[in-house]
Amino acid sequence: MCARIISVANQKGGVGKTATTTNLGASLYNLGHKILLVDMDPQGNLSSSFGTVERGETTVADAILDRKVALPIVPIYKRDDARLDLIPTSVALATAEAALMNKLGREFRLREQLDTVSNLYDFIFIDTPPSLGLLTINSLVAAQLVLVPTEARYFSLQGLQMLQESIDEILYINPHLRILGIVLSKFDRRLREEQTVATYLREHWGDLVFETHVGTNSKILEAASAGMPLIEMHGSHRAVEMYASLAREVLARV
Ligand SMILES: Nc1ncnc2c1ncn2[C@@H]1O[C@H](COP(=O)(O)OP(=O)(O)OP(=O)(O)O)[C@@H](O)[C@H]1O
Ligand SMILES: [Mg+2]
């Protein structure tokens, strides 16, 4: 069995891509799954969300530029059959993105590498940078599914339209790519603007919008700064339950 590969994407910055990848990954691990998280953002927020991780001599940037270099996979958690592994980012990814421009098969580099490890996992989540550059394109080409975290703000709606257009372009080279769902990942129900946009989103995108929304919650921020998934920091908490609920919806959809 090969893993479901899910790219977590939205070119808008700060909408909760990394928090969703971290906490959804940890929730699915907690439910007994084998998870690989890939940090394709040179900012490295996903890598920091798991504290200080050991890094080998080669980086994901080397692996993208040269197929003879294996992906640097770091084990984070293991329990019975379940595991959570991480491919940490490297600042060199930013220069690798520019270097890829002159390479053949530049959109397929990550896909080819993930193919070699995909049989080891149930789910692979790829955290992407806030842009539609080659790193995000590599993630969308490697994936079968796109998970889209979004804020419930007016400008987010335009962003979603742009993302849809990019996905339509990717279909030329990855025809089976589809949107797994859109998740309101920082929802503040007290704001009227957010309620209005959330209603519009559900009308416009229908069932693609997950029923679960993740509310704004300071514990999510604190866990990210402490370098651990929420569930490790607060075993039971309202915010933990929100991601667990999202995890169950994801399992029902794949
Ligand atoms: N539900 C939430 N409640 C409160 N804070 C949150 C929530 N989700 C994410 N955050 C915080 O908001 C900030 C931005 O979130 P995150 O880093 O996940 O967004 P991102 O889309 O990955 O950003 P970037 O585009 O820069 O990669 C972080 O400080 C994060 O801890
Ligand atoms: Mg991020």
Domain CATH code at residue 54? 3.40.50.300
Q: What is the pLDDT of residue 115?
A: 97
Q: Which domain holds residue 179?
A: 4-253
> CB under 6 Å to ligand 1: residues?
13-19, 41, 43, 45, 130, 185-186, 214, 216-217, 220-221, 224
139: CA distance to ligand 1 center in Å?
19
What's the pLDDT tens digit per position in 130-174?
999 999 999 999 999 999 999 999 999 999 999 999 999 999 999
User: What's the CA gap between 52 and 5, in Å, rounded?
Assistant: 25
Q: What is the pLDDT of residue 57?
A: 86
Query: Residue 123: which pLDDT band, with cuts at 50, 70 and 90?
Result: very high
Query: Residue 215: which pLDDT band, with cuts at 50, 70 and 90?
Result: very high
Please say whether the beta carbons of 212 and 249 come within 8 A. Answer: yes
Q: What is the pLDDT of residue 234?
A: 87
Q: How many domains does the chain have?
A: 1
What's the pLDDT tens digit per position in 228-243?
999 999 888 999 999 9
103: CA distance to ligand 1 center in Å?
33
18: CA distance to ligand 1 center in Å?
6
Stated as kind and residue range, the H or E segment containing 253 is helix 238-253
pTM assigned to the model: 0.98
**What is the widest separation between alpha-carbon atoms in the chain?**
53
- The torsion region of residue 83 among left (phi > 0), alpha (psi -120 to 50) and beta comes to beta
